[in-house]
Amino acid sequence: MKRTRYVSAAASVVLIVGGPVAAAAAVSSDAARTVTAAPALRVDVTAQGAAAAALKHYPGVVESLDKDGSVWHVDVISKDGKGHAELDVSASGAVTEQNRDTDENAAENKALVSAKVTAEEAMKAALAAHPGQVWSVQWEDGDDGKAPYWEVEVKSSDGKTWNAHVDHATGKVTQSGADSDSDGDDNTN
C-alpha cells in the first residue's frame, strides 16, 4: 500500500513538472518545423551588386571580380594603395573575407587607384556595348607596353562571351571580341 502511494506521488511530480516542459517542447518542435518548412529565398547577386557589397565591407577600389559558381571573388585595393583584401560575395550578398594585406606596394597600385574609370563604370560601358551579364572584370596595368585598361567579360543571352577592353581614362570600349562557345576560351567548335 505504501509502495503504491510513492509511485502515485512520483508520477504526480513527473506530470506536474514534466507537463509544462513537454508542452513547451511540443510547441518548440512545431515552431521549428514551421520555420524550416519555409523555402529559403535565393537572390543571385550581379557583378555590380557583388562589387558594391565588397566595397561596403572593405572600402577602396575593385581590382578584379569574377564569378565561380554562385560565388563572386572580388579583390579590392585600399584607397591609399597599401592595402589589399580578397573577398567572396555569396549569391545572397553576404561577404566573407578570405585574406587581407596591409603591406602592398602603393606605387604598383598608383595607376589603379588614380584611374578615372572605376571597375563599376567599366562594367556599365561594356554592358552598353554588349548587353548581357558581366561575368568578370580585371584591371590590366599596362605592363605589356599598352596603356592600362579594364578587361570585362560579358555573357550574352545567346550564350556568347564578349571580352571588352575599356579605356581607363575615358570609359570607351576600345577593343572587344566574342567567343562563339560558352566556356570562355578562344576555341570555336
Nearest to 134 by CA among 64, 189, 57: 64
Question: What is the model's pLDDT at position 180?
Answer: 53
Residue 87's nearest CA partner among 39, 134, 42, 51 is: 51
pLDDT at 22: 44
166 by Cβ neighbours in 10 Å (0-12 / 13-18 / 19+) ranks as buried
Give the number of C-alpha atoms closer than 13 A to the C-alpha of residue 160, restricted to the C-beta side: 12
Q: What does each of the 189 residues of the chain score in pLDDT, given as a tens digit?
A: 444 454 444 444 444 545 554 444 444 444 444 344 444 445 589 999 999 999 999 999 999 999 999 999 999 999 999 999 999 999 999 999 999 999 888 888 999 999 999 999 999 999 999 999 999 999 998 777 778 999 999 998 888 899 999 999 999 997 666 665 544 444 333
User: pTM to 2 decimals?
Assistant: 0.70
On the 0-12 / 13-18 / 19+ scale of CB atoms within 10 A, 38 is exposed
Q: What is the pLDDT of residue 103?
A: 87
Three-state secondary structure call for residue 179: strand
> Pairing relation of β-strands 71-77 and 84-89?
antiparallel
Are 44 and 133 spatial neighbours (Cβ–Cβ below 8 Å)?
A: no
156 neighbors 131 (Cβ within 8 angstroms): yes
The string over 77-93, giving b where at least 16 C-beta atoms fall within 10 Å of a residue's C-beta and e elsewhere, is bbeebebbbbbbbbbeb
Give the H or E element holding residue 4.
helix 2-37
pLDDT score of 19 = 52
Count, in order, helices (H) and strands (E) of the chain: 4, 8
Is residue 45 within 8 A of residue 53, CB to CB? The reply is yes
